[in-house]
Amino acid sequence: MYASAILDVFSQRYLDARNQFIGAAETSPIVAKLNGFQHPLKGPKGEKLCCDVAWLGDLQAKQVVILVSGLHGVEGGVGSAIQTDFINRYRRLPQDVCVIVVHALNPWGFASACRNDHEGIDINRNFVDFSASLPEFRAEDLWQKLASSELDIEIVAQDREQFDVLSEGQYSESKALYYGGQQPSWSRQCIEQLAGQLKPETRDSIIVIDIHSGLGPYGYGELISDHPMDSPARDIALNVFGATVTEPVLGTSSSGEKRGLHDYFWHALGDHVCFVTLEFGTFGYQEMLRVLLADQKLQQQVTDWQDDETLEVKHAMQDFFCPDEKQWQELVLFRGRQVIEMALASLTGSGNHVGE
Ligand SMILES: [Zn+2]
């Protein structure tokens, strides 16, 4: 369907993905600004780590679309491909629209083929109020049994209720999955600074599309809304993206209800801010838990990048979260383009209308 050159935007590796993204941004006639956030650490190959941000179109525009990739590190391959493809394809934007492309929000995780960041934090559980008391770890027993292999992965993967409790987010055990941290993470601070530059109160509408992978059917791009049922922004999500929007609170999503989501930061900025997660499925819950547990175990020690076992675990992570398969990449690219086009059309009145 797509020429293989078009699929070259896919890369499982941070450095290559970043080079492609920067290359596209530097040669685009509509990139008005390229800035970003330098990470304090270096990658496994000694490479510089950065969350790069490209601003396309009119910086003062009243309508804004924000595309985010790599919040979950290793998932960055999919979002990066959609972002670079977008910058390569568009030679102009509708009037009064600015598109902000946030590349590799967790660059350490992307470069290290981890889902978490350098402090073991799951960024998508980190947006909580740390001055308030933190919720208990409801899945602690379940986690201990999983980590010690007392409980079979298959059983948890097939029990949706157990999986949802396990993945809802916890703030007690830094060496366990879905750990939300004890303070705002580096990536969260990037988002807070970005919002400061954006000045949401000066804009009429903002649509954030946060690109992930790992949950749901192979190649399917699910649009997930975690907006409260009675919020105006939920109506915007349904108006803009239609019946493909799923909602964890209704049980229609492959994702369960969660604590500390990235969504919640943007929800709090006003009713004119609509946030959706674009989640691309790969090989299912069971295989996901298998690769994540293996990587979690590996991270208990200092990672030896020369070791064959390390590379095996890391390649399994990359192959799970960004499969190097033409049919998956084609599905992803088609859906990615479609979702961005729906967002842009809604802002310019050529499709569904926002906020009516
Ligand atoms: Zn994710």
Domains of the chain: 4-214+251-348 (3.40.630)
60 C-alpha to ligand 1 centroid (Å): 30
Please report the pLDDT score of residue 355 as a whole number.
39
C-alpha distances in Å from residue 267, one per residue of 94, 227, 230: 25, 7, 13
Rounded to an integer, what distance in angstroms lies between the CA atom of residue 314 and that of residue 291?
9
Those residues whose C-beta lies under 8 Å from the C-beta of residue 176, and which sit 6 or more positions away, are 137, 143, 147, 170, 296
75 C-alpha to ligand 1 centroid (Å): 6
Phi-psi label, residue 214: left if phi above 0, alpha if psi -120 to 50, beta otherwise:
left
Which residues line ion ligand 1, judged by CB < 5 Å? 72, 75, 212
- Beta strand 273-281 with 221-224 is antiparallel
The packing angle between helices 326-348 and 76-89, to 10°, is 60
122 C-alpha to ligand 1 centroid (Å): 9
Mark the ranges of the chain whose per-residue pLDDT is less than 50: 351-356
Both tokens of residue 36? 């970003």
73 C-alpha to ligand 1 centroid (Å): 8
50 C-alpha to ligand 1 centroid (Å): 19
94 C-alpha to ligand 1 centroid (Å): 30
Please report the pLDDT score of residue 118 as a whole number.
97
281 C-alpha to ligand 1 centroid (Å): 10
- Tell me the whole-structure pTM to 2 decimals: 0.96
Please report the pLDDT score of residue 350 as a whole number.
56
197 C-alpha to ligand 1 centroid (Å): 25
280 C-alpha to ligand 1 centroid (Å): 9
Please report the pLDDT score of residue 160 as a whole number.
87
55 C-alpha to ligand 1 centroid (Å): 23
Beta bridge partners of 52: 36, 103
Assign 20 to helix, strand or coil. Answer: helix
Please report the pLDDT score of residue 351 as a whole number.
46
316 C-alpha to ligand 1 centroid (Å): 16
311 C-alpha to ligand 1 centroid (Å): 21
pLDDT tens for each residue of 25-65: 999 999 999 999 999 999 999 999 999 999 999 999 999 99
277 C-alpha to ligand 1 centroid (Å): 9
Please report the pLDDT score of residue 3 as a whole number.
84
Please report the pLDDT score of residue 4 as a whole number.
85
Both tokens of residue 308? 């064959």
333 C-alpha to ligand 1 centroid (Å): 17
212 C-alpha to ligand 1 centroid (Å): 4
